[in-house]
């Protein structure tokens, strides 16, 4: 199978993730969209690593995983704090700041 298909798949997953972030209203789901984007990036990294025949891309994927994990920790902490205050995780309810 042609290896460029994986790049196309990565781009498609990335686009789905970005659409999720822009369209969905639940903070957790928005956050999952971000995670999907990061994992699509990982797929692109390993595919390109395979194309170029060097391991840099695979190592980079590990870095992205670590960063994604750190982001989950901070992000969920913030979302849970808001949820405990308001009993809602919808980004539409979080609307005190505007103008």
Which positions lie near another protein, rule CB under 8 A?
A: 7, 10, 14, 17-18, 21, 27, 30-31, 34, 37-38, 40-41, 44-45, 47-48, 51-52, 54, 56-57, 60, 63-64, 67, 70-71, 74-75, 77-79, 81-82, 84-86, 91, 94-99
Answer whether 45's CB lies under 8 Å from 64's CB. yes
Sign for the pseudo-dihedral over CA of 39, 35, 70, 97: positive
Residue 1 or 66 having the CB closest to another protein = 66
């Amino acid at each position: 199978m042609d290896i460029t298909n994986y790049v196309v798949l990565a781009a498609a997953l990335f686009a789905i993730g970005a659409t999720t972030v822009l369209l969905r209203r639940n903070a957790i789901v928005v956050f999952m969209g971000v995670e999907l984007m990061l994992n699509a990036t990982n797929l692109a990294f390993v595919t390109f690593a395979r194309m170029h025949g060097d391991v840099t891309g695979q190592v980079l994927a590990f870095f992205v995983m670590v960063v994604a994990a750190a982001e989950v920790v901070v992000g969920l902490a913030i979302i849970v704090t808001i949820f405990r205050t308001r009993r809602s995780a919808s980004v539409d309810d979080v609307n005190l700041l505007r103008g």
